[in-house]
Structure 1
Amino acid sequence: MKQKSMSINAFLNGIRSILNLLFPLITFPYVSRVLQVQGIGIYNFSQSINSYFLLIAELGVTSYAVREGAKYRDNPEEMSKFGSEVFTINVIATLASYALLLLSLLVFSNLKSYITCILIFSLQMFFVTMGTEWLYTIYEQYTFITIRSIVFNAISIILLFLFVRNSNDYLSYAAITVFATAGSNLINYFTAKKICRIHLTKHINWKRHMGPILIIFASNVANLIYVNSDVTLLGLMKNNYTVGIYSVSAKVYTMVKSLISSVLIVTVPRLSMLFGKRKLDSYELVLSKVTNTLVLITLPAMVGLFMMSRNVVLILSGARYMQSQSSLQILSCAYLFSILAWIITYCVLLPAKKEKYMLISMSISAILNIVLNLILIPFWSENAAALSTVIAEFSLLVVNFYYAGDIVGRIFISKTVAKNLMDAIIGSLGIWEVCFIIRNIFPHLIISTLLSVALSVIIYGVILLVLDNDIAHSYIDRYLNKN
């Protein structure tokens, strides 16, 4: 099969991520005002509970299928056999997850007031399993995925403004959120046969699949715990109001992180294939390019969000959520740790079949995050949750690097990364100055925000060019050559 351009894939996935971000950016200001803090708190708490069962249903199949399936994409017969086995395992896990969810709703009385919302969110398990998104990732079908996302995000926005009209409509908001996923995955299900024939099968090589799948699943559980434990514990230890306040900063943090990581996601199938075929020189070249590009993107995003946190909260949610500003500033400090840790996890440990080290590092981070939350939330509420996330992300990076140093050490500790890191720091200082000056000269919220973003991009780009940054010059040269 002809390999698709990784730059084009990154561009398409970036467009998809931007569109997925535009949905909450367009809708969240409206929803947060209509549903108010209590409604947002119920919505997010229900979603956080459902996410644990969604993880059980997924079982680690996606990451495993992308890594292993990349080796078979040029062999339709082997791909069909492999895909059918993995799909069947996914279906069994989904049925088990539904059973556990229903049991939990019966046993835990404090979930009774959230039952309807949780059950609506639970529909995602069925549709995600049937959607076999991992198949489209293996074959790098990002054009299809992007177009599909545009259609269903647009429909969801229309439905939102039609059916979410007052503070009691959080169930409608949950249903529309599920629809965006369900619609996309239904399209996946009906078009997957054009890529590869996948069906339920009795013939499963359990010994081959279950070992790595369960290790990846355990790693994902640990990852979800340290990602979601802050919202869950805030809901249990505080109240819906505190969850609603923290949800604003967590939502913004996640959106920006998803956009940055869109550059990373498209490289996973390619890196898995290169490592699997022992093309290590090509593997290191791609990994180095990804790392250096993300360093240049992440630092300015981190500084820009820190400086613009007040404006972001006011624009997205309004003055009643102003308390979210401090937790958003704290969370913004986690980006560099998070992205570098993610590179090691999904671009190094996963392709290298070092799942057990993923499990160890994520478990350490999860335990640390929970302990810090339990200790600090009674005193600092949502700011404690944000701080624990930053520390957990840093610990994940440190432990990951310890286990992957033999592979990634030559890249992370290199003159190229050091040069790009220094360029990014100097450029980010320019962003800091721009945002500070604009904030003091232009008090108008929208004008201040637009000028800060536009001038920050220009100043950062100019600084990189003045510093003779290779990556910045390569993008400029590519643009000029196309024109």
Structure 2
Amino acid sequence: MKRKKSLGFNGLLNGVRSALNLVFPLITFPYITRVLSVGSVGAYNFSNTYVGYFILLAGLGISTYAVREGAKYRDNREKLSKFASEIFAINLWSTVVSYVLLFMSLLIFRNLQTYLLFILIFSVQIFFTTVGIEWIYIINEDYSYITARSIIFKIISIVMLFLLVKSRNDYLWYAGITVFSSVGSNVLNYINANKICDIRLTTNINWKKHLKPIFIIFASTLAVNIYLSSDTTILGIMKSDYDVGIYSITVKIYNIVATLLGSVMTVTVPRLSMLMGQGKMKEYKETFIRVINVLALLVIPGTIGLMMLSQEIVLLIAGPKYLESTNALRIIGLAVIFSNFSFVFYNCVLIPAKREKQGLFNTIAAAIVNVLLNICLIPMFAYDGTSFSTVVAEIMTTVMNFWAGKDIIKSTVFSKRVIHNLFTVLIASIFVAISCWICKLIFASLLLRIGASVISSGIVYFVALVLLKNELVVSKLKR
């Protein structure tokens, strides 16, 4: 447990895991849409979404809080065991409350009886998500276990899908397999956690200490969920289903790119929480500089590539029917940069510094601005206006989160190392744009255009970084 784990290797593992979570639906969904009826697929999606709200409720803000506080005790098994037992007990209580509210809703809203079997199957996820205690493994930075487990259960689930879902009547099998792929390994998580700490059922809980920050983090999570879904809701109210359909493709592609580019940053949260919690601020700032530099190195060229190849990506993923989403995708592409920096400022600075209340205020303020901008822009610009509103909201959140933690990170963000790194990345990213533009002119084939753009831009980007003496790239080459 005391062995220091590589942030780079953990970032790679988490990137693989995130990619797998994105690829799994791409493999299964085309098969399911051909086997099951449209009505069954609709019932499946509604039920899964409905139960998702209760999973969110059961989780509260526990995982984020647990990682922040638990990281301090990572090298002390006794203290970590006591803390983990208290958090697990709180999570069990919130799970009970979630189940009670779910079953009450089934009794109150009679039309939900149509989806009863689906909802009951999906509700298993509530309990097993709690039992899974994944936050223990995040605290311990054990991403090799998390990734290996995820790969194994995803492969098993795909095999089960093709073996068991063969006709229109197998929709419940599909729901069960989805649950299995999501939380099937969580019993193993609970058993295996004994290698890290000793989790016991306890009634000796310091409610006063834990509940307030948990609820504030939960409120912030809710605010994020509301403002992320409000754009689609307002677009649907003010425009048509057609506009929502076009925008849904934009959001889907944006989420894929943002998730993949940002996944390597998630692994830094427990390390930075531990360093700040233990008062090792010199090491914290040094690690934070590396985090900012790596983030810029990935998301800026990634965003440039997304904006340059928006039309090709839409054609590849959604087909010519959705070409109108190209401009909206170019606009919302800018949000990839700011959403990832906002994530780092919030989770790696404000949360470890126990400033979650300021983070909540920032999120609510951005949500209000986002809603107002949507109301103003949608009538004239439709989904393009919605994309622009998202970009503004993400910029606003990034600036406010930075400002709330400026006393901690101002000297690192504006250090010569970070500024030089950012300069080299921006210059090198210009060559990414040029490379994509040339490939678009040369190649007629869609796949060749995308493939050549990715490969050539990757090469010229790397060469440019070497010539510009980017610190991260040069240090890796010297090793």
Same fold, TM-score > 0.5, yes or no? yes
| C-alpha separation in 1, matches of 2:175 and 2:319 | 21
Aligned positions of 1:43-62 closer than 5 A: 49-62=50-63
Q: 1:82-93 alignment to 2 at 5 Å?
A: 82-93=83-94
Counterpart of 2:257, as a letter, is: V
What is aligned with 2:228? 227
| Aligned-pair CA distance for 1:367 | 2.2
Q: Counterpart of 1:200 in 2: which secondary structure?
A: coil
Q: What secondary structure, in the 3-state scheme, does the structure 1 residue paired with 2:74 have?
A: coil
Three-state SS of the structure 2 residue aligned to 1:140 is coil
Q: Offset of 1:423 from its aligned partner?
A: 1.8
Counterpart position of 1:204: 205
Give how far 1:188 is off: 1.4
Distance 2:191 2:444 in 1: 52
- Residue number in structure 1 paired with 2:363: 362
Superposition deviation, residue 232 in structure 1: 4.7
For residue 469 of structure 1, what is the aligned residue in structure 2? 470
> Which 10-residue stretch deviates more, 27-36 or 122-131?
27-36
Moved more, 52-61 or 170-179: 170-179
Deviation at 1:317, TM superposition (A): 2.9
Q: 1:382-397, aligned counterparts within 5 Å?
A: 382-397=383-398
Deviates more, 1:31-40 or 1:227-236: 31-40
> For residue 431 of structure 1, what is the aligned residue in structure 2?
432
Q: Mark the CA change 1:72 to 1:327 in structure 2 (over 3 Å): closer, same or farther.
A: same
In 2, the alpha carbon distance for the partners of 1:436 and 1:38 equals 43
Q: CA deviation at 1:15?
A: 2.6
User: Which residue of 2 is the match for residue 481 of structure 1?
Assistant: none
Structure 2 unaligned blocks of 5 or more? none
Letter in 1 for 2:230: S
Q: Which residue of 1 aligns with 2:11?
A: 10
Q: Quick one: structure 1 residues 230 and 437, their matched pair in 2 at CA, closer, same or farther if it must change by over 3 Å?
A: same
Q: Deviations over 1:189-217 (max 9, x none)?
A: 23223322223321111011112111111
1: CA distance, partners of 2:402 / 2:180: 39
* CA 391–102 in structure 1, closer or farther in 2 if over 3 Å, else same: farther
Which shifted more, 189-198 or 337-346?
Answer: 189-198
Using the TM superposition, name which of 305-314 and 281-290 deviates more.
305-314
Rounded to whole Å, the distance in 1 between the matches of 2:407 and 2:51 is 38
Contact 1:222–1:366 (CA<8 Å) still a contact in 2? yes
Tell me the alpha carbon deviations over residues 391-430 of structure 1, each in whole angstroms, 9 at most, x when there is no partner. 2111111111221111111122233222222222222221
Which deviations, in whole Å up to 9, do the C-alpha atoms of 1:2-50 show, x marking residues without a partner?
2222222223223322333332454466667888999988766665554
- Corresponding position of 2:402: 401
Number of matched pairs? 478
Shift of 1:85: 1.0
| Range 390-399 or range 160-169, more displaced | 160-169
- For 1:293, give the aligned amino acid: V
Displacement after TM superposition at 1:228 (Å): 2.9
Query: Hey, what does 1:444 align to over in structure 2?
Result: 445
Displacement after TM superposition at 1:120 (Å): 5.1
Q: Which moved more, 1:89-98 or 1:357-366?
A: 89-98
CA contact (8 A) 1:377 1:385 kept: yes
TM-score between the two structures when normalised by the length of structure 1: 0.88
Deviations 1:162-198 (A, max 9, x none): 5677999887766544332112323312322332222
Structure-2 residue corresponding to 1:422 = 423
- Distance (whole Å) between structure 2 residues aligned to residue 357 and residue 425 of structure 1: 31
Whether the 8 Å CA contact 1:69–1:83 is kept in 2: the answer is: yes
The aligned counterpart of 2:306 is: 305
TM-aligned CA distance change 1:242 to 1:212, over 3 Å: same
Distance 1:101 1:172 in 2: 22
Relative to the length of structure 2, the TM-score reads 0.89
1:56-205 matches, within 5 Å, as 56-104=57-105, 121-161=122-162, 175-205=176-206
User: Which residue type is aligned with residue 141 of structure 1?
Assistant: D
Distance of 1:66 and 1:97 partners within structure 2: 22
Structure 1 window deviating more from structure 2 (77-86 vs 321-330): it is: 321-330
Q: Deviations over 1:277-334 (max 9, x none)?
A: 1111000000011001101110111011112222222222333333433332222110
Cross-structure match for 2:330: 329
1:281 aligns to 2:279 (yes or no): no
Q: Distance in 2 between matches of 1:70 and 1:230?
A: 36
Judging changes above 3 Å, is the alpha-carbon distance between structure 1 residues 300 and 265 closer, same or farther for their aligned structure 2 residues?
same
Which of 124-133 and 4-13 deviates more?
4-13
Distance 1:34 1:310 in 2: 30
**Equivalent residues of 1:427, 1:464 under 8 A apart:** yes
Q: What amino acid sits opposite 2:319 in the alignment?
A: G
* Structure 1 gap segments, 5+ residues each: 479-483
Larger CA deviation: 285-294 vs 43-52: 43-52
CA RMSD of aligned residues (A): 3.1
Q: Secondary structure at the match of 1:333?
A: helix
